[in-house]
Amino acid sequence: MAPDDTAPVNVDSAWPDPAQATPMLAHYLEVKRQHPDCLVFYRMGDFYELFFEDAAAGAKALGLTLTARGETVGGKSVPMAGVPVHAVESYLLRLIRAGFKVAVCEQVEELAEAKKRGAKAMVRREVIRIVTPGTLTEDALLDARRNNYLAAVAEAEGQTGLAWLDMTTGDFACEALPRGGLGAALARIEPGEILLSERLVQAPELFETLAQWKAQLSPLPGSRFDSESAKRRLMKLYEVQALDHLGPLGRAEIAAAGALVDYVELTQKGRVPRLGRLARVSDAGIMEIDAATRRNLELTKSFAGERRGSLLGVIDRTLTGAGARLLAARLAAPSTEPAVIAARLDMVTWFLDAPAAREGVRTSLKRCPDLERALSRLVLGRGGPRDLAALRDGLVETEVLRKALGQPLLPPLPKGLHLAQRGLGQHLALVDRLARALADELPLLARDGGFVRPGYSAALDEQVKLRSEGRQLVAALEARYRTETDISSLKIRHNNVLGYYIEVTAAQAGKLPKDAASPFIQRQSMANATRYTTVELSELEEKIARAADKALALELALFDDLVKEAAARGEAISEAAHAIAELDLAAGLAVLAADRRYCRPRVDDSKHFAIKGGRHPVVEALRPEDPFVPNDCDLAPERRLWLLTGPNMAGKSTFLRQNALIAILAQMGSYVPAAEARIGVVDRLFSRVGAADDLARGRSTFMVEMVEAAAILHRAGESALVILDEIGRGTATFDGLSIAWATVEHLHEVNKCRALFATHYHELTALAARLPSLACRTMRVKEWEGDVIFLHEVAAGNADRSYGIHVARLAGLPAAAVARAEEVLAQLEAGEQSGRLATLADDLPLFTAAAGKTPRRAAPARGPSAVEEALAPINPDELTPKQALEALYRLRGLLSERG
């Protein structure tokens, strides 16, 4: 959606009546009427022009100067702003980023053609494409290492369907979403644009989820999500009579997928990109990771919003765009099927065991251009000679790659690599043809010509020869005119306005014959030179132009031919591209494992989580100067919930995250930063940090914390892994402690999942006595001459205190404040609360609450104290000041009696 302040507003008063406009503007207004939600880029010569409201909006967004056309419509001026055609991509990119869509209205014929219809005829213009964030294909507008998905959400029969496609790779998939599952699915796919009906945009139950995707939403009329027409569209796309071959698709999925195809046709003006078979993704096969967890764990983006510092940034050793995209996709959707995971790991293992083959493969991968994106541009009619060259250079490597995998004495290929080797395919004929057809230096656009290698086409060579012969004849003519006129400085030159002309300096012009028989016809006279032409020169020029036109027409025909041949082999090329991506991913993960000493995890259907010597992949990679202390984590069923205490800065958060990251890496099919790892499949992963500020969403931090915690307690089942870091920090101490307390009990008694719970509430460790699967761990520290040294080691037991004041001292709090804090702490610790909590743990079976009884209030364990008993009967309103003072002394006295 366009941002509100710059949106092109389609107000009647702003858009004048076409009847009063010149034919060109009338046509423009008609185009605009058909594309009210787009900025219209109207091609005029070397510029795309914007008019009226669009001009104002475009000028503001792009910093262009707003001018006015030299005509008025209905007495009003015509604001105008333009961008040069040759730089259009960078302008498009900025407009798309600013939330606009752009309809590109091209000149679809040459001026000369229009003139044939009459002297005043207008050049025909048509919208050839609508540029939207989800339908980009240009490399300059895209990140080569990420997919750019166009997604659609539809509802039917009470089900929510999600479909998504990447126009640049042909990936096309759909999924029936579980209730409330839209947020997690969108976070996984990260679409660049989301289509949904106007009704769903307003649906209250989606409000929270969609609020995070505002900039990506493209609302469409509900009619575009009709499942019956969607079905027809898909059948037409796949040229079939029924959709059975795609598996059991629900109406919601069909509606979503059909809406995508419809939208692509609409924006590409009928040209449909090459789309692969619609893959049905099942959430059962994928580890569910919600948006908050992805953010928390910095999977693909660091907190600063960058790839650097994220898990993806650290583990990416791929060498091709396709490989990087596959890695990102795998990381976003780790598998939950041990067999799938093992098959992926087998490929990595093979590359680890065959270092020479790995290097051979990677050397070849470095030369592989982006086959998928080049192919998609060619198929959409938007490709150029360099895209053909990309196919040539990529496909020739398939041969090299196959050989590298098939050398003697290598370990036997695992199934995945065997499939990849086969997927590489045979492309010799196409490679050979492209190699013969394409010249060494290639222009960006086919219409610039000059990209066909001499010797490839006799007809073309003939025209090229005529053209260069013509040029030689011009040179000969120049020499002859010099002798005939005796003007040695006479020159024949060429420019775009006059074409070929003869130039003589003003001083010499007198030497030219002036009689009627003179062949020299004056064309232009300048301060110090005069320009002429002759019949002979014009004829020669004509001949050269004819040859050049013919040569270009022949080249364009050859180009079309090559594109057709490539498109016909689209399936095989796309398969080769997938194979290359698989090889790149597996070899890259092997390099990572070798470089960073990762181990192969064992993933099975158990409920274990046993990591020996685990490390945090990002911390150890980004801070190589501090040696990282490895730690074990063993969430065996009898101790599946770890309560981790320890001072600030001791390494609690790091330990928690590293285990979540190890689970993700293992299940995406990567080696993991550990000495040993056995993981029972994790079907859902949750990670929460207490009191994370979420100002962007405008909710109180504590509210956010609780909303997120609620999601976990509702959704985590026995196969989930839950990471809770200082939950309850965002509110008053007792509130926070109570919530943390209840959360631990709930996880233990109801969710029964594996969990790591870091807390600064030492009081919680009292729960260990009553919850059998709760284990207490603490970060070891050493005190040394009044200083605290963090060992970053996880050990059994509890922290006795949090050393917060120590950290405050380290942070430079003034000495007086530190001393005072120590005093206050001593007072507080002398108080009674910890003792009471210990009793509370024994005393209060919270899960009588879960069993339906009303939870009791956290009552003091022993009866009321003497002070309390004395306080109870006092009514302050009835006391005189003197009585009040006396009461205070009495109470004070009771207190000291006790101490």
Interface with ligand ADP includes 176 (CB under 6 A)? no
Pick 88 or 656: Cβ nearer ligand ADP: 656
Q: What is the CA radius of gyration of the chain?
A: 37
Pick 619 or 818: Cβ nearer ligand ADP: 619
Pick 259 or 650: Cβ nearer ligand ADP: 650
Site for ligand ADP in 1-30 (CB under 6 A): none
Pick 28 or 628: Cβ nearer ligand ADP: 628
Number of residues near Mg ion (by CB under 5 A): 1
Closest approach of ligand ADP to the CB of residue 623, in Å: 6
Residues 6 or more apart whose Cβ sits within 8 Å of residue 595: 317
Interface with Mg ion includes 197 (CB under 5 A)? no
Contacted entry of Mg ion, ligand ADP, none for residue 62, CB cut-off 5 to 8 Å set by kind: none
Pick one of 653, 659, 773, 802: the residue that binds ligand ADP (CB under 6 A).
Answer: 653
Pick 277 or 623: Cβ nearer ligand ADP: 623
Contact criterion met (CB below 8 Å) for 23 and 4: no
**Going residue by residue from 678 to 717, which x/- string records binding to Mg ion, judged by CB under 5 A?**
----------------------------------------
Contact criterion met (CB below 8 Å) for 761 and 646: no
Which residue has the CB atom at the shortest distance from ligand ADP? 651
Pick one of 58, 134, 191, 651: the residue that binds ligand ADP (CB under 6 A).
Answer: 651
Closest approach of ligand ADP to the CB of residue 765, in Å: 16
Cα distance between residue 631 and residue 792, in whole Å: 8
Closest approach of ligand ADP to the CB of residue 630, in Å: 7
Contact criterion met (CB below 8 Å) for 706 and 668: no
Contacted entry of Mg ion, ligand ADP, none for residue 628, CB cut-off 5 to 8 Å set by kind: ligand ADP
Pick one of 619, 788, 887, 891: the residue that binds ligand ADP (CB under 6 A).
Answer: 619
Pick 457 or 653: Cβ nearer Mg ion: 653
Number of residues near ligand ADP (by CB under 6 A): 14
What are the angstrom distances between the C-alpha of 632 and each of 613, 628, 641? 5, 13, 14
Pick 398 or 654: Cβ nearer ligand ADP: 654
Residue type, 14: A
Residues 6 or more apart whose Cβ sits within 8 Å of residue 724: 656, 686, 688, 690, 709, 712, 743, 755, 756, 757, 758
Residue type, 225: F
Closest approach of Mg ion to the CB of residue 296, in Å: 12
Contacted entry of ligand ADP, Mg ion, none for residue 629, CB cut-off 5 to 8 Å set by kind: ligand ADP
Closest approach of ligand ADP to the CB of residue 758, in Å: 7
Name the nearest CA neighbour of 262 among 251, 249, 275. 275
Pick 6 or 654: Cβ nearer Mg ion: 654
Contacted entry of ligand ADP, Mg ion, none for residue 626, CB cut-off 5 to 8 Å set by kind: ligand ADP
Site for ligand ADP in 621-650 (CB under 6 A): 626, 628-629, 631, 646, 648-650
Q: Encode burial over 545-558: b for 16+ CB neighbours within 10 A, e otherwise.
A: eebbebbbebbeeb
Cα distance between residue 17 and residue 73, in whole Å: 8
User: In degrees rounded to 5, what are phi and psi of residue 39?
Assistant: -80, 135
Cα distance between the two ends of the chain? 68
Contacted entry of ligand ADP, Mg ion, none for residue 651, CB cut-off 5 to 8 Å set by kind: ligand ADP
Pick 668 or 794: Cβ nearer ligand ADP: 794
Closest approach of Mg ion to the CB of residue 726, in Å: 6
Cα distance between residue 155 and residue 170, in whole Å: 24
Closest approach of ligand ADP to the CB of residue 764, in Å: 15
Residues 6 or more apart whose Cβ sits within 8 Å of residue 400: 360, 364
Which residue has the CB atom at the shortest distance from Mg ion? 653
Closest approach of Mg ion to the CB of residue 629, in Å: 16
Contact criterion met (CB below 8 Å) for 763 and 831: no
652-668 and 321-332 are packed helices; what angle lies between their axes, rounded to 10 degrees?
120
Task: Convert 344-390 into a string of H (helix), E (strand) and C (coil).
Answer: HHHHHHHHHHCHHHHHHHHHHHHCCCCHHHHHHHHHCCCCCHHHHHH
Closest approach of ligand ADP to the CB of residue 818, in Å: 19
Residue type, 261: V
The first and second tokens of residue 174, run together, are 């759909």
Pick 246 or 311: Cβ nearer ligand ADP: 311
Site for Mg ion in 651-670 (CB under 5 A): 653
Interface with ligand ADP includes 792 (CB under 6 A)? yes
Closest approach of ligand ADP to the CB of residue 310, in Å: 16
**What's 734's DSSP letter?**
H
Closest approach of Mg ion to the CB of residue 707, in Å: 21
Q: Give the E-state strand segments of 601-732 in sequence order.
A: 602-604, 609-614, 631-634, 641-645, 676-680, 684-689, 721-725
Pick 348 or 656: Cβ nearer ligand ADP: 656
Name the nearest CA neighbour of 97 among 141, 36, 47, 48. 141
Contacted entry of ligand ADP, Mg ion, none for residue 55, CB cut-off 5 to 8 Å set by kind: none
Residues 6 or more apart whose Cβ sits within 8 Å of residue 729: 690, 691, 705, 736, 760
Pick one of 317, 652, 715, 754: the residue that binds ligand ADP (CB under 6 A).
Answer: 652
- Which residues are near ligand ADP by CB under 6 A? 619, 626, 628-629, 631, 646, 648-654, 792
What residue ranges bind Mg ion (CB under 5 A)? 653
